[in-house]
Chains A and B, each alone.
Chain A
Amino acid sequence: MTAAQIRPTTPEPSALNFECETGNYHTFCPISCVAWLYQKIEDSFFLVIGTKTCGYFLQNAMGVMIFAEPRYAMAELEEGDISAQLNDYDELKRLCDQIKRDRNPSVIVWIGTCTTEIIKMDLEGIAPRLEAEIGIPIVVARANGLDYAFTQGEDTVLAAMAQRCPKQAPTKTEEKEERNAIQKLLNFGRQTEEVTQAEAEYADHPPLVLFGSLPDPVVTNLTLELKKQGVKVSGWLPAKRYTELPVIEEGYYSCGVNPFLSRTATTLMRRRKTKLIGAPFPIGPDGTRAWLEKICSVFNIEPKGLEEREAQIWQNLEDYVQLIRGKSVFFMGDNLLEISLARFLIRCGMTVPEIGIPYMDKRYQKAELDFLERTCNEMGVALPRIVEKPDNYNQIQRIYELKPDLVITGMAHANPLEARGIDTKWSVEFTFAQIHGFTNARDILELVTRPLRRNTNLKDLGWDKLVKEAVEV
């Protein structure tokens, strides 16, 4: 990448500027995490304990997935539950018995909602008693809209799961095989001597556990990237099955793959006594390289061939980068991936006037924030303003003023902005698309450039603004 020719339009602030607005913004409810977690953890069942409002949201947000016999359901609270005429324990037991009978899962995850918070239903108290009675582990996660936004739902679930990871490696070999799915995947049924030989490919370092739910192909991909550096991934939270949760012993190292996992990180440090590797996130080729380098540096491994690998990826991205170089992008903020995506897009040559974000954990994201700052300096662009708990109404006024080339936003604002001649990309797609690692960098740009490519196709038709009233600026 050549250093961009774009001049900063505003005087360059010396450090990142953090602001906090009213919190009147649109995002998904954190219970939406069941949509991808039930698919990730194949033997789980998610029970959302809430009202019709929660159910309606899930039903509409998950679209066609609803019809595919999902392993999730609502425990819909009725008036008798709210006024405590019914006994919470008995009610939950009845429902969980039914789930056990119909689906026989290896774990039931209870998702606490706003309503269970307000009526102070003691889910954490009921769960262990019920667990003993029905013989299925019950994990409680309070993924509610009072405290969290969208992807933070996964954080609450993984933080609760972290407590369930086995404390000691099992001694029996059969058990070990069953548990170590990633290892098995890497060894692909090779004989033991071959495996022992394969072990030699790794540097001698303390066990590393990665956390964050990613689609299986991305897990394989990142695991192999680390393997190339001689780093062995001992386990991944979450694994494909609840019964395969990784062993976490005191002194293990842990590293996150997503920016919204601060509670999980805290739990792994404080409760499970792991050492957290604070790295930028493997999003974009720059992020992936920085992530790998940081892990290597912690284990005193000299990274091999990463510079060339990154350059190669950038070269393959050039056709897409050309489309966005010099353009500006405005993040309204709703899924906490914003800092990493902005950093990557700045490296692609874009300018970012504003990064909206629901919640900013400056400690957990420290390496990523530093990386963002460094990227801005290297590319010679102004540092973005980072707006925590944004106010969508104010943001739209700023969008009218700044006229960014692209707005990354939720579906509530996308069509109205398009109708006013402003290109938008629906932010939720970034949570479901594969965006991690070197290999998937192209997918991020595929998403980012799609509105620009589409509108280039339509450019000459003169259909830019399709609302009758003049936009008040």
Chain B
Amino acid sequence: MKLAYWMYAGPAHIGTLRIASSFKNVHAIMHAPLGDDYFNVMRSMLERERNFTPVTASIVDRNVLARGSQEKVVDNITRKDREEHPDLIVLTPTCTSSILQEDLENFVERAQLDSQGDVMLADVNHYRVNELQASDRTLQQIIKYYIEKARKREELDTTKTVEPSVNIIGLTTLGFHNNHDGRELRKLMADLGIKVNAMIPEGATVDQLKTLPKAWFNLVPYREVGMMAAEYLQTEFGTPYVDITPMGVVETARCIRKIQQVINAQGVGVNYEDFIHEQTLHVSQAAWFSRSIDCQNLTGKKAVVFGDNTHAAAMTKILAREMGIHVVLAGTYCKYDADWFRAEVSEYCDEVLISEDNGEIGDAIARLEPAAIFGTQMERHVGKRLSIPCGVIAAPIHIQDFPIGYRPFLGYEGTNQIADLVYNSFTLGMEDHLLEIFGGHDTKEVITKGISADSDLNWTHEARTELNKVPGFVRGKVKRNTEKFARERGLSEISLEVMYAAKEAVGA
């Protein structure tokens, strides 16, 4: 048992659901107790999704506990197949159902007999993998299923496209700025003259999966999701993959050069150097930003970075290499992939922290007292407590991290966004600091008092106590409205009764 207040990565089934609900016309059925379909709320709230989340639960209740699911799961699958005609139904076990040890594989086989669409069982161990590992695994599983299906039906076309083409693998629903990154990557590929053969899983259909071998190479922008799929496609079809995250000016150039190398190895001669040069100096403002006086002021400032592997590693390199900021600590919660992280960042920071314990990171931040933090929502709150500004660079995230405006982190526009994020975090901190030194904006004492600051009305002790129970942000309003109510009625004392009467009359 572990005492835990907070977790960075969710349980395994969340990863599976993120993959399933990213595809079009794929439905997930969770074998879960009542209330475990919280994923639907998150998707509907955070992504402001207009459509119903294609996830339902086959409820595990007392009866299931006593007698087993029996026909229930099979019925729920075939029913959903009839109602919504999905191409694929993914039966998703949860931590509860996995200890029941029912033969879900058998249910899937039986349901398949009566279903028009395909049915499969997500193959993840809930006590060994987390959300990220599970999503990686499920994506690979679905791809493999459809490749093998096509092969069996002799529909698999492995001839490469005429022009260079790419599969972009790993963009999912509820991923940090994934939809913006997708658009930016498409644009980058178009600029490079590379056709996007498929972008999976977000927005793709399972039908598209059999065309994956036609691409010249695969691009895996995020470390956490898509690596297993890319490796599978390499083993199966020899398709090379590029796994350099194009985040930051230097890494984007590195990613493009690697693409150039991969394409040229397949018999065409492309040269992207001029493109990289033009973009770096004129399209992205980040290179110029590093040279500007603003950025000079950031030199040697201390920062702490914490997040998932992809974003924390890329951010560390951007801060250290491109902006001259002193990264005192870089950390990740992807414990299972810690070696990769260490290798990526060791030369760019003083200290590496691999931990899933938010207390440990909070303590480290308090000890190091950086001028800015780049982390998750948890680090943002640590920053709030310690009065250190924080830019959010990785999940777990809140609704404000799903902006409507265009905010990619990848590609050349991404470099602009990151420059803004970094600069705004630091200047805000500086401004705060200066204000403190010079004693605030307005040092003159306030002479006139607000409307309700001074009043001729007498609040009884009970009413005063009650008023203090009203949450701070509305207390002033309640006080003003109650006093207005009392004044209008010529009451000089405000008792509990008057307070309630005011609320009843005017909603004070």
Inter-subunit contact B507/A26 (CB<8 Å): no
The answer to whether B57 and A24 touch across the interface, beta carbons within 8 angstroms, is yes
Closest chain B CB from A107 CB (angstroms): 17
Which residues of chain B in 1-21 are interfacial with respect to chain A, using CB atoms and an 8 Å cutoff?
A: 1-7, 10-11, 13-14
B288 within 8 A of A: no
Tell which of B4, B5, B41, B505 touches A410, judged by Cβ atoms closer than 8 Å: B41
- Beta-carbon nearest neighbor of B460 in chain A: A188
Query: Which of B38, B44, B50, B76: most chain A Cβ within 10 A?
Result: B38
The answer to whether A75 and B49 touch across the interface, beta carbons within 8 angstroms, is no
Q: Is the CB of A316 within 8 A of B505?
A: yes
User: A438 in the interface, Cβ–Cβ < 8 Å?
Assistant: yes
Among the stretches A115-123, A197-205, A251-259, A345-353, the one at the interface with B is A115-123
Q: Is B127 an interface residue (CB 8 A)?
A: yes
A323 within 8 A of B: no
Residue B61 contacts which of A23, A98, A393 (CB distance < 8 angstroms)? A23
How many angstroms between the C-alpha atoms of A257 and B494 in the bound complex? 28
CA distance A75 to B4 in the complex (A): 6
Q: Is the CB of B1 within 8 A of A52?
A: no
Residue numbers in A under 8 Å from B32 (CB-CB): 145
Tell me if A114 and B96 are in contact (CB < 8 A). Answer: yes
B53 touching A115, Cβ below 8 Å: no
Contacting pair A415 B49 (CB below 8 A): yes
Q: How many residues of chain A are within 8 Å of chain B by beta carbon?
A: 80
Q: For residue A171, give the distance in angstroms from its CB to the closest CB of chain B.
A: 29
| Set of chain A residues within 8 Å of B11, measured between Cβ atoms | 51-53, 56
With A67-B381, A79-B128, A316-B504 as known contacts, state yes or no: A413 contacts B14, CB within 8 Å: no
Is B457 engaged at the interface, CB distance under 8 Å to the other chain? no
Known: A75-B2, A224-B496, A439-B500. A416 touches B33 (CB 8 A): no
**Chain A CB within 8 A of B432 CB:** no
Per-residue CB contact flags for chain A residues 308-336 toward chain B (1 = under 8 Å, else 0) read 00001100100000000000000000000
In this assembly, does A135 line the interface, its C-beta being within 8 Å of a C-beta of chain B?
no
CB of A419 within 8 A of CB of B34, answer: no
Asked whether any CB of chain B lies closer than 8 Å to the CB of A467, the reply is: yes
Among A213-221, A230-238, A296-304, which stretch is in contact with chain B? Answer: A213-221
Give the residues from 485 to 508 in chain B that come closer than 8 angstroms, CB to CB, to chain A. Answer: 496-497, 500, 503-505, 507
Interface residues of A in 58-111 (CB under 8 A from B): 59-61, 63, 66-67, 70, 73-79, 81-82, 86, 91-92, 94-95, 98-99
* Cα–Cα, bound, A393→B27 (Å): 14
Q: Which of B110-118, B159-167, B462-470 contacts A (4 or more CB under 8 A)?
A: B462-470
Expressed in whole angstroms, the Cα–Cα distance for A145 and B396 within the complex equals 25
Residues of B within 8 A of A229 (CB): none
With A29-B36, A53-B13, A118-B100 as contacts: A86 and B6 at CB distance below 8 Å: no
* Bound-state Cα–Cα, A79 to B3, Å: 15
Q: Does B94 contact A (CB under 8 A)?
A: yes
Q: Which residues of A contact B6 (CB under 8 A)?
A: 59, 66
Instruction: Check B35–A52 contact: CB distance below 8 A.
Output: no
Complex alpha-carbon distance, A365 and B6, angstroms: 38
Query: Are the C-beta atoms of A442 and B381 separated by less than 8 Å?
Result: no
Partner of B34, one of A95, A149, A217, A414: A149
A98 contacts B3, C-beta separation under 8 Å: yes
Asked if B38 and A439 make an inter-chain contact with CB atoms under 8 angstroms apart, the answer reads: no
Nearest Cβ on chain B to A404's Cβ, whole angstroms:
17
- Residues of B near A55 (CB, < 8 A) are 4, 7
Within 8 A of A (CB), among B462-485: 462, 466, 469-470
Residue contact A77 to B1, C-beta cutoff 8 Å: yes
Task: List chain A residues, Cβ under 8 A from B2.
Answer: 74-76, 78
A414–B1 contact, CB under 8 A? no
CB distance from B33 to the nearest CB of A (A): 3
Residue of B nearest to A392 (CB): B56
Judge if A470 is at the interface, Cβ distance under 8 Å.
no
**Contact among B3, B60, B505 for A146, CB-based, below 8 A:** B60
Q: How far is the CB of B91 from chain A (nearest CB, A)?
A: 15
Interfacial chain A residues near B462, Cβ < 8 Å:
185, 188
| Size band of the interface chain B makes with A | 35 or more
Contacts of B470 in A (CB 8 A): 217
Contacts of A75 in B (CB 8 A): 1-3
CB-defined contacts of B496 to chain A, threshold 8 Å: 220, 224
On whether the beta carbons of A26 and B37 are closer than 8 Å, the reply is yes
- Which residue on A lies nearest to B57, using beta carbons? A24
**Interface flags, B38-75, vs A, CB<8A=1, else 0:** 10111011001111110011111110010000000000
B79 shortest CB reach to chain A, Å? 8
Q: Is the CB of B38 within 8 A of A56?
A: yes
- Residue of B whose beta carbon sits closest to that of A29: B35
Q: Which residue of B lies closest to A410 (CB)?
A: B41
Is B1 in contact with A91, judged by CB distance below 8 angstroms? yes
Determine the chain B residues whose CB is within 8 A of the CB of A95 once the complex forms.
1, 3
**A76 B4 Cβ-Cβ under 8 A:** yes
Bound-complex Cα distance A40 to B48 (A): 32
A411 at interface, CB cutoff 8 A: yes
- What A residues does B396 contact at CB under 8 A? 59
Residues of chain A within 8 A (CB-CB) of B378 are 67
Task: Give the residues in chain B near A415, CB-CB below 8 Å.
Answer: 44-45, 48-50
Given known contacts A413-B52, A438-B504, is B1 in contact with A144 (CB within 8 Å)? no
Contact residues in A for B36 (Cβ distance below 8 Å): 29, 53, 57, 145
Contact of A416 with B35 at beta-carbon distance under 8 Å, contacts A76-B2, A91-B1 already known: no
Instruction: Name which residue of chain B comes closest to A30, CB basis.
Output: B35
Which B residue's beta carbon lies closest to that of A396? B52
Closest to B94 in A: A53
For B76, the chain A residues whose CB sits under 8 A away are 24
Contact status of A144 and B44, CB under 8 A, knowing A66-B6, A217-B466: no
Closest to B50 in A: A419
B7 touching A114, Cβ below 8 Å: no
Cβ–Cβ contact A439 & B504, under 8 A: yes
A344 at the interface (CB under 8 A from B): no
Seed contacts A76-B3, A393-B83, A415-B48; 6 additional CB < 8 Å A-B pairs: A49-B1, A52-B126, A55-B4, A146-B62, A185-B462, A443-B507
| 6 nearest A-B residue pairs (beta carbon) | A29-B35, A145-B33, A412-B40, A419-B50, A52-B11, A67-B381
Q: List 23 A-B contacts (CB under 8 A).
A: A24-B76, A29-B33, A29-B35, A51-B96, A66-B6, A67-B381, A73-B4, A75-B1, A75-B3, A76-B3, A78-B127, A98-B3, A118-B99, A146-B34, A224-B497, A224-B500, A410-B41, A412-B37, A412-B40, A412-B41, A415-B44, A443-B507, A446-B507
